Amino acid sequence: MPEASHAAWWYWGPFLAAFAVIGFWETFAPLRASPVSTPRRWLLNALLMASTNAAQVIVLRSSPGLVALAVSSSGLGLMPKLPWPPAALWLLTILALDFIRYAQHWLMHRVGLLWRIHQVHHADPHYDMTTGLRFHPLESVLVNGSYLAAIALLAPPVAAVLAVEAAAAVQALFAHANADLPAPLERWVRRVWVTPTLHRVHHSADRCEQNRNFGMLFPIWDRLLGTYLAAPSLPARTMPIGLAELSLTQSSSLLAMLTLPVRRPPLRRP
């Protein structure tokens, strides 16, 4: 299907380009040393990504761009009924979809059953761009399934949805980069965009800090809703990352990560 190939290009093109650039950045300007073998971590996170992608294909059988395309000419949805110019609908789409991602992430930390699943992402003992690929297949199905439902309800402009998908593909890697922007640039960028310095706070082993900085693209939702934290209590280079209750062996095992939501109670109550 040509539409499916086009929608896939909008995701994988920016993703692969960002992977190369951010990988180069991390390699030559790393912020932290990994406590475990990098090839082993990358392999595990790649396998988790493959499992989440397979789950999406098998269960959801669609993508945000394809859903937006399907409802664009159906006469259904809320946005086509708004008498707004295209630029305003684009802006509304970008903000609405980013807020949905913020809300989903917040719920993953607040609902015990969802935290069982989401803790796989936080179990990574190191923090680099591949952490942005590390999710349990059940989380992928739940999060993306509800995201597709929201797109079907809103019926936003197709091109705007594809633009958000491209930005999200890059941001999943950039926000988890094991590197920091130069301080003067960081001060400006973090005002409008989630930087690695900001999102790293969310991956602290400290429970209070884990419940901050949920934003995907923009920090505005964290600022407005009281979940923003500018910096961790400990230096970024040395603060504990991940879940303290898991050993390095457990957090580096594919079987342990796939069974983590069902084989034990949540490691941390919301």
Q: Which residues have a Cβ under 8 Å from the Cβ of 120 and sit 6 or more positions away?
A: 48, 134, 135, 136, 139, 257, 260, 261
Q: Which residues have a Cβ under 8 Å from the Cβ of 141 and sit 6 or more positions away?
A: 55, 56, 59, 60
Contact 49, 133 (CB under 8 A): yes
Max CA distance (Å), the chain: 56
Supply φ then ψ for residue 250, to 5 degrees: -65, -45
Please, is 82 exposed, middle or buried when counting C-beta atoms within 10 Å of its C-beta (0-12, 13-18, 19+)?
A: exposed
- Scanning the chain, the segments in alpha helix (DSSP H) are 2-28, 38-55, 64-72, 86-110, 112-122, 137-154, 158-174, 183-189, 196-202, 207-210, 220-225, 248-251, 254-263
Assigned token pair, 268: 């941390």
Coil vs helix vs strand at 241: strand
In this predicted structure, the answer to whether residue 1 has a pLDDT above a threshold of 60 is no
pLDDT digits (tens, 9 = 90+) for 76-100: 889 999 999 999 999 999 999 999 9
The fraction of the chain above a pLDDT of 90, given in percent, is: 83
Q: How far apart are CA 91 and CA 265, in angstroms?
A: 41
Contact 23, 235 (CB under 8 A): no
Contact 208, 197 (CB under 8 A): no
Query: What single DSSP character describes residue 131?
Result: G
pLDDT confidence of residue 268: 55
pTM of the model: 0.93
Q: Which residues have a Cβ under 8 Å from the Cβ of 253 and sit 6 or more positions away?
A: 44
Supply φ then ψ for residue 204, to 5 degrees: -60, 150
Once rounded to an integer, what is the mean pLDDT over residues 139-154? 96
Once rounded to an integer, what is the mean pLDDT over residues 20-25? 96
pLDDT digits (tens, 9 = 90+) for 176-233: 999 999 999 999 999 999 999 999 999 999 999 999 999 999 999 999 999 999 999 9
In this predicted structure, the answer to whether residue 270 has a pLDDT above a threshold of 90 is no
Estimate to the nearest angstrom the gap between the alpha carbon of 78 and the chain centroid: 26
Averaged pLDDT score across all residues of the chain: 92
Which residue has 């705007």 as its token pair?
Answer: 160
Q: Which amino acid is at 137?
A: P
Contact 138, 113 (CB under 8 A): no
pLDDT confidence of residue 143: 97
